[in-house]
Structure 1
């Protein structure tokens, strides 16, 4: 699990095709002195990957076909900058929100504009993901925890403060670029509970949620 609070920006050193999937090497000098071990999880642009080798400031990850099919990793080339976050510890401050590192889909940046000292970003989502995005809810964009300002159909916008713009790769995005999206975990579980697609009914309904202040 992660928090969506980016710890550093890394860089792709190599992306090697191996038998249909990919092995990537990421340079992350800020992680060189960290207590990293084989098998540790690191979120790279919001994708949870496992460290299979490391040395100095370089970390190696195998990326499955499943991950390649649902992310932009297959398009990564040497020199690409990526957001990095190590898995949270029990003592970690939860400054963002609970993030699994499992990308739900891709969104496109359709408008980028200044908003006082911050930046306003408008994204377009696939229709099947838009239902999980709510005004003032949480969303993860390339691994970065952000708050949704407003929703209009399959579009939503976020406000990115100067600090976040500078210390993540969000500041490198241009209109038309695609990003990794992870919707809020609670929205996913609520859909499952309300769908009734289980052997035993949970007893949780929309009216129950409304009566108890959850909807």
Structure 2
């Protein structure tokens, strides 16, 4: 479990195919010394397991199976690529973002990056069948970053990025057309299942009241 608060921007040093799996060697001078073999690490929003660690070189290795490679944007990564990193949540940590599992739901696409006075506005497109999980002022993990969204449309939403988040994540590298990992709010997914929301339905206040929320 994660919170969507990025702890470091790592760098892909090497990719190696092993059967159907792909091993990523990651450089992080902030986090490599805290990772142990078997630990969960969010790689741009994808929960992977540390399989080797070299603290002296500030590097660690994670492995992704073929299904994970297909569902997320990991296949877009090449040596030198920058990635968002977050270690798993501990019971004593503050929950600064929202509950993030590291299980990517779908791949979205950045449609626009607009600079505002003191912030940035990024618009994202997503498949319509996930619209039931998207609500105004709700939370979405985008490449592992917990963001509050607004201006929600059937296949698009917008997020505003403050300077700290802009400088501390790979969101500053986004350009129109680039793909991103999307994980929708866990609570929204449970509510949708319990209330029987169909693919094109949306969670509304009236619908929640109907079910006693």
TM-score normalised according to structure 1 size? 0.90
Residues 24-103 of structure 1 correspond to what in structure 2 (within 5 A)?
24-34=24-34, 36-56=35-55, 57-103=58-104
Aligned CA RMSD, in angstroms, stands at 1.8
Query: For the residues of structure 1 that align with 2:135 and 2:88, how far apart are their CA atoms?
Result: 26
Task: Decide whether the 8 Å contact of 1:123 with 1:155 is kept in 2.
Answer: yes
Query: For the residues of structure 2 that align with 1:195 and 1:182, how far apart are their CA atoms?
Result: 20
- Provide closer, same or farther for how the CA distance between residues 146 and 213 of structure 1 changes in structure 2, counting only shifts above 3 A: farther
Q: Measure how far apart 1:125 and its partner are.
A: 0.3
Structure 2 residue runs of 5 or longer lacking an equivalent are 198-204
Q: Measure how far apart 1:212 and its partner are.
A: 7.4
Q: Measure how far apart 1:177 and its partner are.
A: 0.5
Query: For the residues of structure 1 that align with 2:10 and 2:206, how far apart are their CA atoms?
Result: 46
Structure 1 residue runs of 5 or longer lacking an equivalent are 197-205
Task: Decide whether the 8 Å contact of 1:22 with 1:74 is kept in 2.
Answer: no
Task: Decide whether the 8 Å contact of 2:136 with 2:151 is kept in 1.
Answer: yes
Task: Decide whether the 8 Å contact of 1:134 with 1:150 is kept in 2.
Answer: no
- Provide closer, same or farther for how the CA distance between residues 116 and 108 of structure 1 changes in structure 2, counting only shifts above 3 A: same
For the residue of structure 1 that corresponds to 2:30, the secondary structure is: helix
Q: Measure how far apart 1:19 and its partner are.
A: 1.1
Structure 2 counterpart of 1:203? none
For the residue of structure 2 that corresponds to 1:33, the secondary structure is: helix
Residues 106-185 of structure 1 correspond to what in structure 2 (within 5 A)?
106-185=107-186
Task: Decide whether the 8 Å contact of 1:105 with 1:181 is kept in 2.
Answer: yes
Kindly provide the CA deviation profile for residues 65-107 of structure 1, in whole angstroms up to 9, marking residues without a partner as x.
Answer: 1101101112211000000000000000000000000000111
Query: For the residues of structure 2 that align with 1:212 and 1:106, how far apart are their CA atoms?
Result: 31
Query: For the residues of structure 2 that align with 1:75 and 1:109, how far apart are their CA atoms?
Result: 15
Structure 1 counterpart of 2:193? 192
TM-score normalised according to structure 2 size? 0.91
The runs of at least 4 consecutive aligned structure 1 residues that moved more than 2 Å come to 206-209, 211-214
Matched pairs, number: 205
For the residue of structure 2 that corresponds to 1:210, the secondary structure is: helix
